[in-house]
Structure 1
């Protein structure tokens, strides 16, 4: 079952890459910037928590 899901995701991303490469790049950039923001917020929260101890 996991292999089927992985194959479907790869096929979907490949199709998206060939039909709308700029849309895929925009989505990837958006996801990347969101992850960086969440990681920064997590580290800030950990630093605040440790500082309060």
Structure 2
């Protein structure tokens, strides 16, 4: 089942890459930026927690 889901995901991303590469790049940039903000906030909260101990 996992292999089928991964295969469908790869086919979808490949299709997206060939049909709209700019849209895929923009989406990847936005997702990466949001992930970085989330990870940064998480580490800031962990540092604040450890400091308060």
Which category of TM-score, normalised to the shorter sequence, fits these structures? Answer: over 0.9
Following superposition of structure 1 onto structure 2, how do residues 17-36 of structure 1 map, counting pairs within 5 Å? 17-36=17-36
Give the total of aligned pairs.
Answer: 53
In structure 2, list runs of 5 or more residues that go unmatched: none
RMSD: 0.4
Alignment TM-score, normalising by the size of structure 1: 0.98
- Could you list the structure 1 runs, at least 4 aligned residues long, displaced by more than 2 angstroms after superposition: none
CA-CA distance at 1:51 after TM superposition? 0.7
